[in-house]
Chain A
C-alpha cells in the first residue's frame, strides 16, 4: 500500500499531481485538489511522479 500525505498549508491546487496520478488525485468543482490517502502498490510509480512534479513539493509518501 502507498500512503500519501499532502501538506495543505503548502498545496496551491496546481493540479500537476492530477495529471501524474489521476487515480489518486483529482480537482473538485471548486478547483480544490482531493486525494485518496491510501492507494494500491500499482500506483507507486504514478504517485512518485506526482511527488516529483508538485511545484510546492507538498506531497509526501509515508
Chain B
C-alpha cells in the first residue's frame, strides 16, 4: 500500500483537510497526528459559554465526524517531533518514523507565556486547549482576584466570563485600549466602557513586568510600578506558531509557515514544495483581497477555507489530474470573519479593520447597537458591529471587493 497523506494537527484545520480530500475524490490512506488526547473540537466556546458554564467536557465542543472520513486513522496523543521533507518522513516524539505521500501542516498556535517560569507556576494560566479551559474554569470561583495580562479578544472574553462568574477582574494591556487593533479607537473605547460598567478594571498602556509569588501566584508588578494582588493570572498576550518540528527543512517559518495561494508550503527561494501544504492558523498565505503579502489570519473561518483549498489542490495532484494547474491559479480570497461574545455584547466583523486609516460610524449609536466601517482611503476594508447583524452582513460584499487585485503570485 502507498504511504498515507499525513496531516499533523488534529483540530479544525486538520479535520477539514481530511474531509476536503475525501470530498475531492482522494480515497487513499490518511493519517492524522495530534498531540492532544482529544478528537477535533471547537475552541471558541472555551473562553465563552464552556468556561462560564463549568461543563468543560469534550462532548460539549466536539466536531461531528462525517461518514466520509470514518476510515481516517487518528493518532491522537502523538506529537510529531521532526520532519524530513526531502525524504518525505515525519518522526514522532517517541522516535517512530512514518513515510508520507503528502504532508499537511495543521499545527496551529500555542499561547505565548509571560516568563518561562509561569508555564509551571500554580495560579498562572494560558488558554488554548480543552484541558486549559478545564483548569482555568476550576480556578474562577466567586471572589477570586483575577489579573488578565493581554487585552486582545481572548483576554477580553475571559475578563467578561470571569466577571460573570463573580471574580474581581483587572485587565492589563500594553495598547491604549482593549482590542484596539481589530476594533479601532471608537469601538475599543466603547467596549472598555461597557466592561467598566460591569465592574472590570483596566490598566492600559503598561504590561506585567514581574510575577510575584514563588510557588504560587500572589500578584503582579506592572512596568509602571504599580502592584496588583491576585490569585489567578491569565496570560493572553498572543501566540506562537507551532513550527519548530519543521526546523532544519527548507521552509520559511517566520511568523507562520509561508505558502503560495494554493496553500503549498514554500521553500526559502519561493518555489513550492509540491507535496507539502499548510492550513489554518499556522499558515501565512497570500489573500487576493489584500494583495500579495502573505499573512496568517487567526480567525475561525480560515482553517475551513484554507483546508478546503489545500484538500482540493492536493487531491488533484495525487490523482495526476490535468486540472491541477487551473486549480492552483484560481483566485483565493477568503474574507476573514470574526466574532466575539462578551456578556451580552455580540461583536461581528468582516475583513481586516486593522488595516484602516479611517473609521466611521455607519449605523446605530455608540454605547448601543452600532456598526462601524473601516476605510483605506475611500475603500471599505472592514466592518464591525455590536448587534445589527444584517447591517454588518450588508457590507460584507463590499469588504470582500477591497483591492480587486489579480491573483497573488507569491513573489
- Which A residues contact B (CB, under 8 angstroms)? 12-16, 27, 31, 48, 51-53, 55, 57, 60
Structural contact, B390 and A57, CB atoms closer than 8 A: no
Chain A min CB distance to B31 (Å): 22
Q: How large is the interface on B (under 10, 10 to 19, 20 to 34, 35 or more residues)?
A: 10 to 19
Q: Which residues of B have CB within 8 Å of A52?
A: 16, 304
Assess whether B115 is interfacial by the CB under 8 Å rule.
no
Within the complex, which residue of A27, A51, A53, A57 is in contact with B389, where a contact is CB–CB below 8 Å? A27
Q: Which residues of A have CB within 8 Å of B42?
A: 57
Structural contact, A57 and B346, CB atoms closer than 8 A: no
Q: Please measure, in the bound complex, the distance between the C-alpha atom of A60 and the C-alpha atom of B16, giving whole angstroms.
A: 16
Q: Which of B370-390 contact A (CB under 8 A)?
A: 388-390
Q: Which residues of B have CB within 8 Å of A14?
A: 339, 348, 389
Q: Please measure, in the bound complex, the distance between the C-alpha atom of A14 and the C-alpha atom of B350, giving whole angstroms.
A: 12
Structural contact, B44 and A53, CB atoms closer than 8 A: no
Interface string of B316-353 (1 = CB under 8 A from A): 00000000000000000000010101000010100000
Q: Which residues of B have CB within 8 Å of A13?
A: 389
Q: Which residues of A have CB within 8 Å of B248?
A: none
Interface string of B140-174 (1 = CB under 8 A from A): 00000000000000000000000000000000000
Structural contact, A31 and B304, CB atoms closer than 8 A: no
Structural contact, A31 and B63, CB atoms closer than 8 A: no
Q: 8 smallest A-B Cβ distances: which pairs? A: A31-B390, A31-B389, A52-B304, A15-B393, A57-B42, A13-B389, A55-B339, A27-B390
User: Can you list 14 A-B pairs with a CB-CB distance of less than 8 A?
Assistant: A12-B339, A14-B339, A15-B390, A16-B301, A27-B389, A27-B390, A31-B388, A31-B390, A48-B66, A52-B16, A52-B304, A55-B300, A57-B42, A57-B63
Q: Which residues of A have CB within 8 Å of B66?
A: 48
Q: Please measure, in the bound complex, the distance between the C-alpha atom of A31 and the C-alpha atom of B348, giving whole angstroms.
A: 14
Structural contact, A55 and B44, CB atoms closer than 8 A: yes
Assess whether B64 is interfacial by the CB under 8 Å rule.
yes
Q: Which residues of B have CB within 8 Å of A15?
A: 389-390, 393
Structural contact, A60 and B64, CB atoms closer than 8 A: yes
Q: Which of B1-17 contact A (CB under 8 A)?
A: 16
Q: Please measure, in the bound complex, the distance between the C-alpha atom of A2 and the C-alpha atom of B229, giving whole angstroms.
A: 56
Q: Which residues of B have CB within 8 Å of A55?
A: 44, 300-301, 339
Q: Which residues of B have CB within 8 Å of A57?
A: 42, 63
Q: Which residues of A have CB within 8 Å of B64?
A: 51, 60
Chain A min CB distance to B408 (Å): 23
Q: Please measure, in the bound complex, the distance between the C-alpha atom of A31 and the C-alpha atom of B388, giving whole angstroms.
A: 8
Q: Please measure, in the bound complex, the distance between the C-alpha atom of A57 and the C-alpha atom of B196, giving whole angstroms.
A: 31
Which A residue's beta carbon lies closest to that of B49? A10
Q: Please measure, in the bound complex, the distance between the C-alpha atom of A31 and the C-alpha atom of B341, giving whole angstroms.
A: 18
Within the complex, which residue of B63, B304, B348, B390 is in contact with A53, where a contact is CB–CB below 8 Å? B304
Sample of 13 further A-B pairs with CB below 8 A, known A15-B393, A55-B300, A55-B301: A12-B346, A14-B348, A14-B389, A15-B390, A27-B390, A27-B393, A31-B389, A31-B390, A51-B64, A52-B16, A53-B301, A55-B339, A60-B64
Q: Please measure, in the bound complex, the distance between the C-alpha atom of A56 and the C-alpha atom of B33, giving whole angstroms.
A: 26
Interface string of B387-404 (1 = CB under 8 A from A): 011100100000000000
Chain B min CB distance to A20 (Å): 10
Q: Which residues of B have CB within 8 Å of A31?
A: 388-390
Q: Which residues of A have CB within 8 Å of B339?
A: 12, 14, 55
Q: Which residues of A have CB within 8 Å of B304?
A: 52-53
Q: Please measure, in the bound complex, the distance between the C-alpha atom of A60 and the C-alpha atom of B63, giving whole angstroms.
A: 11
Q: Which residues of A have CB within 8 Å of B346?
A: 12
Q: Please measure, in the bound complex, the distance between the C-alpha atom of A51 and the C-alpha atom of B63, giving whole angstroms.
A: 10
Q: Which residues of A have CB within 8 Å of B341?
A: 12
Q: Please measure, in the bound complex, the distance between the C-alpha atom of A27 and the C-alpha atom of B396, giving whole angstroms.
A: 15
Q: Which residues of A have CB within 8 Å of B348?
A: 14
**Most interface-central of A14, A31, A52 (chain B CB within 10 A):** A52
Interface string of B35-72 (1 = CB under 8 A from A): 00000001010000000000000000001101000000
Q: Which of B51-95 contact A (CB under 8 A)?
A: 63-64, 66
Chain B min CB distance to A59 (Å): 10
Q: Please measure, in the bound complex, the distance between the C-alpha atom of A22 and the C-alpha atom of B346, giving whole angstroms.
A: 23
Known: A52-B16, A57-B63, A60-B64. A16 touches B390 (CB 8 A): no
Q: Which residues of B have CB within 8 Å of A48?
A: 66
